[in-house]
Structure 1
Amino acid sequence: MLTKVIEQAKIDRFARWMGHAERIVIVAHVAPDGDAIGSSLGLWHFLNSQDKVANVIVPNAFPDFLRWMPGSKDVLLYDRYKEFADKLIVEAEIICCLDFNALSRIDAMADAIKAAKGKKILVDHHLYPEDFCDITISHPNISSTSELVFRLICRMGYFNEITKEGAECIYTGMMTDTGGFTYNSNNREIYFIISELLSKGIDKDDIYRKVYNTYSESRLRLMGYVLSNMQVYPDYHSALISLTKNEQGRFNYIRGDSEGFVNIPL
């Protein structure tokens, strides 16, 4: 069993919104990572199961190693389709803000989201959330926004409506935001959630392979180069890695090639 982390009043309010809404937009932060895309698509799949017209909009492109995720081809990139995205945002009855705590984290989308008349809900696990939504579900003690999305769906009574595809997305978000469950993942409830996601038919080993074991030769060589230049400061228990645009160019860099590098010195 899961503890009731999210306040019941907030869950009930969002459920009422959802019951009366048809058009819903989901937005996530700039340079979306596994949790941003995983939580967004996890919620998107659920809303589709409820016959809602839902769209995921992110400020810019996400890493190629996340493009296997079910529904990823339907994610709208704001920097490429601004006019169409702005229309969807204006028309949205509900806007779900996932995995960011401030409007500045959605870059060029900020003005459109701020001006939108639709009801707004924030679901996030970062510290110090700004007050820009009607409902704020913020729990920094939770490992990932994807976990919060799972909890929200279940607390509304819709566990049975989570599809295999939605479960794959939620699991991916939980996995990537904990480094494959190697940090920030000692809460035993995380593993209860994993068991529930497994009951949906996901193959967690295959998901791990797709995310972590499908690197290109260029990415591997880039990683080696970055680590070979790492500076360590023992007195401060710290390390520093850097990567310039010129250096990226030497290794045929594509978006996402440096994803996760920042965690290696940990």
Structure 2
Amino acid sequence: MTVILPFLLLTACGQSAEYKKSIKNGENAISDKKYQKAVEAFAIAVKEDPNDEVAKKELEYSKSLLKFEKQAKDQLNESNQKIGDLNDQITNLKGRTSEELENQLATAQSTLSEKDKKIGELEGELSSLREFKKQIDQENAQKAEQLAQKQETRNNPVQIKITSFTENTSFEVVEGELKNISDISLKFVQIRVLFKDDNGNIIDSKETYGQSSTLLANAMTKFSARVKKDPRITNATAEIIDFRTE
């Protein structure tokens, strides 16, 4: 950038060569933006001719340029320092933020690992509880079935089996067995034998008792029943109608 001097350099025949040289050096220094050298050169010119207004004004102008340059440099240095400080703060902030994030991430990962471990333990306990519940359900089902069977046995404690169905010249004869399938003794087990035709119609019936008046648990006794011969009778069934418990 070329600086245009605001002053006309007037020389007189009586001015020294040193004066002229200093003025020339000052002008060149200003053109090269070397304001300190310009101040020094114009100061020599003023010294050579203290009454020369041009040299004085050139010196004052050079000092102003030097002052502005110094202020600009100071402001630039201050700005650079502030920028450097801001960069340091940003770097430190980034470093702290990164460190904090890493710490938070590590803490979160540790917490997640502990939770995963706890979940695994809970799943193991839950699996054991499910297996235990399954066993309990099976045992309860078995007990319920046994209880139902026992109740059914108590309600129907006698099994009836017809072992023969015959006829003679006068009677239709049925023989069979009674078995006490309960865990208690029974007395006076009374049965009814139904004599039927091929269509299941009841033609005749006969009530009777087991041969033993007392039927112990898991014991057996025989029974028999007969009715008058009837050509319609082709089969027979038997049912319990009464019994007593001890």
Looking at both structures, which has the greater relative contact order when contacts are Cα pairs under 8 Å and sequence separation is at least 6? 1
Structure number with greater Rg is 2
Q: TM-score, normalised by structure 1?
A: 0.16
Q: Give TM-score scaled by structure 2 length.
A: 0.17
Higher strand proportion: 2
Q: Which has the higher helix share?
A: 2
